Amino acid sequence: MKRRTFIRNTSIFTSGTLLASQKNFAIASPPKKVIILGAGIAGLGAAYQLQQRGIDYLLLEAKKRLGGRIFTQNITADLTVELGAEWIGASHLNLIELCNKLVLSLQNHQFDTDLLLNGQHQPFDQWQYSTAWQKQFAQLKEDFTKGSPKMLQQLDRLDWWHFLKKQGISQRDLEIRELLDSTDFGETIRHVSAFSAMGEYAFSSPKNEMDYKIQGGNSQLIEALAKQIGKEKIKTQHKVVAIAQDKKQVRITCDNQTTWEADAVICTLPTFAVSQIRFTPTLPASYQEALQSLQYARITKTAVLFNERFWSRENFDLISDTLPQYFFHSTKNQLETQGVLTAYSVGDRAYLMGKLTEQAKIKAIISALQPAFGDTFHLAQRVLSYDWSTDPYSYGAYAYYRPTQWYTIQKILAQPFKRVHFAGEHLAEWQGFMEGALTSGLETALAL
């Protein structure tokens, strides 16, 4: 909550949530019925909030499955992996509280990171950033929390890579930061706002919010929420193609020719999906431009099942300068002889990994790990992979803000359009996390 207080006190967070923009809502009294677009964690969270307030709702979801970017898969009958959202942070209080209410157990999902750079493998306890940079970065984070709105807006004009260079970071430290930080944002740090980066690192938990996951898979949360709000309230395979609204109601048309009416709409769709909807009246030009401007991260997750856990440490992960880039033991706490290493590739690496065949993906991962573990190809059994940049609804994993965008398009995208109100991870304080999407959905519903 400390991060939220900071963002709001510096007048930076301007999303369409309770505190920021309820005065702009076109509805003077609570609606009798709300249609929610998207049955990811933001949409389900919004429905959960409306249910608590006794307001009727209906969820429309384009896909066959629920969950959006929460996407648990069984790689064997007993082992699960996450092809989408992975971590719950120690600072993610809304998500933790919801899991407690739904009686879902959280498991430790923290790791100690090995380094593989220029073909040289260093275990987690044998490498670190330079002492000078560790001290300087700690000071930068402290200074950021005390920064004035004007100073922070200036910071937003820089990309993260150039900001770090400006601080005099050594080339080695910068290279490692590029590899690690790009996994947080899903693209090279040359594309990420320095304000967005500092806003994450200055307030994150010691493990950068990579702390927990839900026992049995994160999709357990989706299943529990859907059961709580009523599965009969969710219509899958209902892709919205048109939204028409007047002073009294909103009318939704889906691609299967069904139509639905309500007093208000909460739209939790990613920006690409919103841009494909025909609005009557038309969305303002500034909003349409903002939809086209916000970028989503290119991420390919590739989970490889091995006959044995040759990496030996349950809390093993590794950052590298190879094509697969980042590896972690995704079956931690799942007590089987077999185990899974998931490779997490971002940006251009994600594009290249996504184009490979399954066998080629396994070979790329085995080759990358060879300096640390030798030839392990004979242990590989199968692979599950998902390239989020090719997802037909989002064309990316999650949103990231480029320089100057937080103070401009974020504000535009967050504003309600008459009776349509927007929520989702891309409008949240925590981009790329389930907590951000959930909180955005909860607060937008509460504002209604």
pLDDT in tens for each of the 448 residues of the chain?
A: 355 555 455 433 333 333 333 334 456 678 999 999 999 999 999 999 999 999 999 999 999 999 999 999 999 999 999 999 999 999 999 999 999 999 999 999 999 999 999 999 999 999 999 999 999 999 999 999 999 989 999 999 999 999 999 999 999 999 999 999 999 999 999 999 999 999 999 999 899 999 999 999 999 999 999 999 999 999 999 999 999 999 999 999 999 999 999 999 999 999 999 999 999 999 999 999 999 999 999 999 999 999 999 998 999 999 999 999 999 999 999 999 999 999 999 999 999 999 999 999 999 999 999 999 999 999 999 999 999 999 999 999 999 999 999 989 999 999 999 999 999 999 997 788 999 999 999 999 999 8
Give the CATH number of the domain where residue 375 resides: 3.90.660.10
Please indicate, yes or no, if residue 104 is contained in any of the structural domains.
no
Q: Give the pLDDT of residue 8.
A: 52
Nearest alpha-carbon partner for 67 in 276, 224, 254: 224
Q: Give the pLDDT of residue 11.
A: 37
Please indicate, yes or no, if residue 93 is contained in any of the structural domains.
no
Q: Give the pLDDT of residue 17.
A: 34
Contact 306, 79 (CB under 8 A): no
Residues 344 and 426 placed together within one structural domain of the fold: no
Q: Give the pLDDT of residue 98.
A: 96
Please indicate, yes or no, if residue 82 is contained in any of the structural domains.
no
Here the tokens at position 359 are: 């066998």
Here the tokens at position 105 are: 């157990």
The alpha carbon of 171 is separated from its chain's Cα centroid by a whole number of angstroms, namely 29
Residues 50 and 197 placed together within one structural domain of the fold: no
Q: How far apart are CA 126 and CA 282, in angstroms?
A: 58
Residues 59 and 132 placed together within one structural domain of the fold: no
Identity of the amino acid at 325: Q
Whole-number CA gyration radius for the chain: 22
- Global pTM? 0.93
Please indicate, yes or no, if residue 282 is contained in any of the structural domains.
yes
Residues 343 and 419 placed together within one structural domain of the fold: no
Please indicate, yes or no, if residue 85 is contained in any of the structural domains.
no
Here the tokens at position 159 are: 């990309």
Contact 117, 320 (CB under 8 A): yes
Residues 309 and 282 placed together within one structural domain of the fold: no
Residues 305 and 350 placed together within one structural domain of the fold: yes
Contact 437, 40 (CB under 8 A): yes
Q: Give the pLDDT of residue 19.
A: 31
Q: Please give the residue range of the domain that contains residue 302.
A: 298-389
Q: Give the pLDDT of residue 21.
A: 36
Please indicate, yes or no, if residue 263 is contained in any of the structural domains.
yes
Residues 187 and 223 placed together within one structural domain of the fold: no
Q: How many domains does the chain have?
A: 3
252 CB-near residues (< 8 Å, 6+ apart):
35, 37, 60, 240, 242, 243, 259, 260, 261, 262, 265
First to last CA, the chain: 22
Residues 426 and 278 placed together within one structural domain of the fold: yes
Here the tokens at position 234 are: 């969710």
Give the CATH number of the domain where residue 224 resides: 3.50.50.60
Please indicate, yes or no, if residue 137 is contained in any of the structural domains.
yes
Residues 179 and 322 placed together within one structural domain of the fold: no
Q: Give the pLDDT of residue 430.
A: 72
Residues 119 and 166 placed together within one structural domain of the fold: yes
Q: Give the pLDDT of residue 360.
A: 97
Helix or strand run (H / E) with residue 46: helix 41-52
Please indicate, yes or no, if residue 119 is contained in any of the structural domains.
yes
Residues 236 and 182 placed together within one structural domain of the fold: no
Q: Give the pLDDT of residue 1.
A: 39
Q: Give the pLDDT of residue 2.
A: 54
Q: Give the pLDDT of residue 13.
A: 34
Q: Give the pLDDT of residue 290.
A: 97
Q: Give the pLDDT of residue 30.
A: 85
Residues 39 and 15 placed together within one structural domain of the fold: yes
Last residue of a domain, one of 175, 201, 227: 201
Q: Give the pLDDT of residue 27.
A: 60
435 CB-near residues (< 8 Å, 6+ apart):
88, 89, 91, 92, 93, 94, 95, 428
